[in-house]
Amino acid sequence: MRRLRQGGGREGSRIGGDDGRLRGDRQDRLSAVARGAGPYGGAGDGLPHAAPFRFLDRVTALDGRGGSAEKLVTADDPLMGAGGGGYALARLMAIEALAQLAGLAAAAGAEDRSEGDGAYLAGLDSVRFGAPLRAGDLLRLDVAVEARLGPVVRASGRASVRGETVLRADLVMALGGPATAGGGR
């Protein structure tokens, strides 16, 4: 795996820095988890996604009222693209990471177990973006379930890097399979 320093050149194994970015061995381990080579904190196993479309590296808290997770943005992530003078994670992929966490939280709080089989993103509102994400950033995701009406859950989410908000959104999740969510079979 190629390691990047801020200047973009290769370097040997090095861990951490004052800027909050992860490098070297720790990035290698977390990148392997992002590719599906390790655990997702247990709770993330409820996701229907597989690598490379599974954007939660570690779920740090989860219950029916909300959750927290982390995603390490890596240079070798297949969803990275050039932008802003360097690597920038596509903003829609950051929304997907937030939606995956909201889906886990929504399913964790489902009263009807048939609704707890999964959650699907049904809508977005009030989406606000901040600074772009760059390789080495540790994206912290937080969602709070605000309302439930049958199989429909409304949640608010925030993504941040080093305490700075990079994304805010309100999400609507539909619980259960396509028939429950209104899609029919």
The closest of 35, 159, 46, 150 to 105, measured between CA atoms, is 46
CA separation for the pair 92, 101 (Å, rounded):
14
Show the DSSP H helices in the chain as ranges: 24-34, 91-108
24-175 CATH: 3.10.129.10
- pTM for this model (two decimals): 0.70
Task: Provide the residue ranges of all domains of the chain, joining segments of one domain with +.
Answer: 24-175
pLDDT at residue 153, as a whole number: 95
Nearest-angstrom CA–CA distance, 53 and 96: 9
* Closest C-alpha among 173, 175, 116 to residue 144: 173
| E strands, the chain, in order | 58-63, 66-72, 80-83, 86-89, 119-129, 138-149, 152-161, 164-175
Instruction: Give Rg (Cα) of the chain.
Output: 17
**What are the two backbone dihedrals, phi and then psi, of residue 45, each rounded to the nearest 5 degrees?**
-65, -10
> Residue 93 has what pLDDT?
83
The one-letter amino acid at 7: G
A 10 A CB-CB count for 94 gives: 23
Per-residue pLDDT of the chain (185 residues; tens, 9 = 90+): 333 333 333 333 233 334 444 444 434 433 443 333 434 444 456 677 777 778 899 999 998 899 999 999 887 776 666 555 455 566 778 899 999 999 999 988 887 655 556 788 999 999 999 988 888 899 999 999 999 999 999 999 999 999 999 999 999 999 976 554 454 44
Residue the block writes with tokens 């379930």: 145
